[in-house]
Amino acid sequence: MLKTIFSSEFYFARHGETEYNLKGIVSGDRDVPLSTVGISRSQSVAGIIGRLGVASAFCSPLSRARDTALYLLQETAITPIVLEGLKERHWGKLQGVSKTLLNNFNFKENNVEEWEEFYSRTVNALNGVNSPAPALVVAHSGTFRVLLEYLKIDIERKQVKNSYPYRFYKSGKSWRVAEV
Which residues are catalytically annotated?
15, 88
Domain boundaries of the chain, sorted by first residue: 2-179
Mind listing the pLDDT tens digit for each residue in 123-168? 999 998 899 999 999 999 999 999 999 999 998 877 899 999 999 9
Q: 2-179 maps to which CATH number?
A: 3.40.50.1240
Distances (CA, A) of 85 to 18, 28, 51, 74, 159: 21, 14, 28, 24, 22
Q: Work out the burial of residue 150: count CB atoms within 10 Å of its CB; fewer than 13 is exposed, 13-18 middle, 19 or more buried.
A: middle
Q: Where are the beta strands (DSSP E) in 15-95?
A: 56-59, 81-82
- pLDDT-based confidence at residue 61 (cuts at 50, 70, 90): very high
Q: Are 64 and 38 in contact (CB under 8 A)?
A: yes
> Which element (helix H / strand E) includes 116?
helix 115-127
| pTM exceeding 0.75 | yes
Summarize the chain as % helix, strand, coil (round to 5): 40, 20, 40
